[in-house]
Amino acid sequence: MNIRTVLTQPFSDQKPGTSGLRKQVPTFQTRNYLENFIQSIFDVLDNYQGKTLILGGDGRYYNRQAIQIILKMAAANGVGKVLVGQGGILSTPAASCVIRKNQAFGGIILSASHNPGGPDGDFGVKYNTENGGPAPEKVTSAIYERTKVIDQYKILDSEDVNLDQLGSLTMGEMTVEVIDSVADYAELMQTLFDFSKIKELVTSGHFKLCMDSLHAVTGPYAKRIFEEMLGAPAGTVTNGVPLEDFGGGHPDPNLVYAHDLVDTMFAPNAPDFGAASDGDGDRNMIVGNNFFVTPSDSLAVLAANATLVPGYKDGLAGIARSMPTSQAADRVAEKLGLDCYETPTGWKFFGNLLDVGKATLCGEESFGTGSNHVREKDGLWAVLFWLNILAERQQPVEAIVKEHWATYGQNYYSRHDYEGIETDKANTLMEQLRAKLPSLKGTQLGTYTVDYADDFSYTDPVDSSVSQKQGVRIGFTDGSRVVFRLSGTGTKGATLRVYLESYEPDTSKHGQDPQVALADFIKIADEVAQIQTLTGRDKPTVIT
């Protein structure tokens, strides 16, 4: 066994974003780039020698090569055992599940989530800690600091592992176990949901389910769970084979990128229920027959109906949502007498709330929903949750959501993304906006009075850590809001996200096109932030 110490030089751009380090593939293929980042992770961790690490990814281009490198580096750094998903595949929620089940010290998940893949696409590395969740900021900051000074890494000279063959082997003194990517996750799902009731529904002959895996990681999970375990007809899962470039698509489950599913679900005689998931399986989009459910509404509906589902039959401890997510869930929490937490964007901010039992369900406007069953958002979990509710309530998706609005009021919601803006222009826009905030309170924008205008700052109620500058919020006295932030997950230029929300208690005004219902706020957003003037863009790239 030969452990080599390789001299290296730091890269200046290895600061993890909202969810790990994401870069274009050629950057990760640069000599020592991946190795530096992985060694920096090992360098900042304590007491992992001899213990278990979980490793897998979403199957995108460079996944297999990166796994071989990481295995050899793990062996050289004294890791005891690595559990790696077969074919290098582990969805993000499955990795979280496997970390927790095996009491691993952590996991390395290779994914750039919803970003496109392929030789010119994106790649990414996330580190998750022993609770199964994304590393908190204090860990990612330490990793980043380490990347700035790293001068060597360790790697074992060894043959590549056959990732397709289940079973155990040794690599130096380390054990490598290639595990079934789906089994532990599917088993966990069975403990939460009423599989026999869902099976009755999906095999009844009068309910059609359609799951689009977008050629990304959920294919094998969805086929095993929906088609094999729940008996849905073959073909229920479409685009179910993970491909290194996602078939050339953009594995982002929204109305723009999951267009095949949207076409199917908005056709005459559409299926009853459609869903899609993203590159690494943590996001979900829920669509009924000719009816789209916003992620914010989805969280609220799941919360309001949670006691119908076995895993949540005793009720919820609390609900948490990211700040830009609509306040629909807050209304459910209020009615149920639950605490509701508002966190910055990024699933890592839910970790403490879940760990200490303050929250049971969490959700984000960016198509992420999850619970305390793992420490990541979970796409197929959300689909099963919806199916369980549908099986209990025996109503169409649209009827359930409209009834929800009638009870709680409707939070009209939309997000406008301006992708690929020049970084300087985006920063100028945010700086100018921030400078205006102190003078906005009490003024009129359009016909609305500004109630508050600030840059969101979050103090974690568990460890008191403070995260500042998490998004500019302008709230109006009628409860409506406009929120601005720059994405932390893109790899090209900057993406400006504008989040728009208004509240409508009057049932007769429910169900309008959100772009129409929110038209005043769309105009206000452009005026106050000078979007068109400063970016040169007259419309968003993506509207969700």
Q: Which residues are catalytically annotated? A: 113
Residue 489 binds to ligand G16 (criterion: CB under 6 A): yes
Residue 37 CA from chain centroid, whole number: 22
Shortest CB 489 distance to ligand G16, Å: 3
CA 68 to CA 88: how far, in whole Å?
Answer: 9
Looking at beta carbons only, is 294 or 388 nearer to ligand G16? 294
Residue 253 binds to ligand G16 (criterion: CB under 6 A): no
Do the Cβ atoms of 135 and 84 come closer than 8 Å?
no
Binding mask 95-114 for ligand G16 (x = CB under 6 A): ------------------xx
Residue 364 binds to ligand G16 (criterion: CB under 6 A): yes
Residue 404 binds to ligand G16 (criterion: CB under 6 A): no
Shortest CB 381 distance to ligand G16, Å: 14
Q: Which stretch binds ligand G16 (CB under 6 A): 163-171, 379-387, 446-454, 487-495?
A: 487-495
Q: Among 422, 444, 409, 408, which Cα is nearest to 534's?
A: 422
Residue 488 binds to ligand G16 (criterion: CB under 6 A): yes
Q: Is the dihedral of CA 499, 504, 509, 510 positive or negative?
A: positive
Q: Directed axis angle between helix 92-101 and helix 379-393, to 10°?
A: 90
Shortest CB 543 distance to ligand G16, Å: 15
CA 280 to CA 298: how far, in whole Å?
Answer: 20
User: DSSP E strands: which ranges in 422-534?
Assistant: 444-445, 448-455, 458-459, 466-467, 472-476, 481-486, 494-504
Shortest CB 112 distance to ligand G16, Å: 8
Residue 371 binds to ligand G16 (criterion: CB under 6 A): no
H-state helical runs in 441-483: none
- Tokens for 202? 């999906």
CA 10 to CA 32: how far, in whole Å?
Answer: 9
- Decide: helix, strand or coil at residue 365: coil
User: By CB under 6 A, how many residues form the interface with ligand G16?
Assistant: 17
Partners of 340 in the beta sheet?
319
Residue 470 binds to ligand G16 (criterion: CB under 6 A): no
Do the Cβ atoms of 179 and 99 come closer than 8 Å?
no
Residue 497 binds to ligand G16 (criterion: CB under 6 A): yes
Residue 284 binds to ligand G16 (criterion: CB under 6 A): no
Residue 413 binds to ligand G16 (criterion: CB under 6 A): no
Looking at beta carbons only, is 349 or 408 nearer to ligand G16? 349
Residue 344 binds to ligand G16 (criterion: CB under 6 A): no
Shortest CB 449 distance to ligand G16, Å: 28
Shortest CB 280 distance to ligand G16, Å: 7
CA 336 to CA 496: how far, in whole Å?
Answer: 35
Looking at beta carbons only, is 17 or 247 nearer to ligand G16? 17
Residues 6+ apart with CB under 8 A from 310: 192, 193, 194, 388
Residue 347 binds to ligand G16 (criterion: CB under 6 A): yes
Q: Among 441, 473, 443, which Cα is nearest to 457's?
A: 473
Helix (H) or strand (E) holding 177: strand 174-179
Do the Cβ atoms of 436 and 534 come closer than 8 Å?
no
Shortest CB 488 distance to ligand G16, Å: 4
Q: Which stretch binds ligand G16 (CB under 6 A): 78-86, 172-180, 388-396, 483-491?
A: 483-491
Residue 227 binds to ligand G16 (criterion: CB under 6 A): no
Residue 283 binds to ligand G16 (criterion: CB under 6 A): yes
Looking at beta carbons only, is 96 or 305 nearer to ligand G16? 96
Residue 215 binds to ligand G16 (criterion: CB under 6 A): no
Looking at beta carbons only, is 182 or 496 nearer to ligand G16? 496
Strands laid side by side in the 444-445 sheet: 444-445, 448-455, 472-476, 481-486, 494-504, 410-421, 542-543
Binding mask 260-279 for ligand G16 (x = CB under 6 A): ------------------x-
Residue 346 binds to ligand G16 (criterion: CB under 6 A): yes
Shortest CB 229 distance to ligand G16, Å: 25
Looking at beta carbons only, is 19 or 371 nearer to ligand G16? 19
Residue 18 binds to ligand G16 (criterion: CB under 6 A): yes
Do the Cβ atoms of 270 and 290 come closer than 8 Å?
yes
Residues near ligand G16, by CB under 6 A: 18-19, 113-114, 278, 282-283, 345-347, 364, 366, 368, 487-489, 497
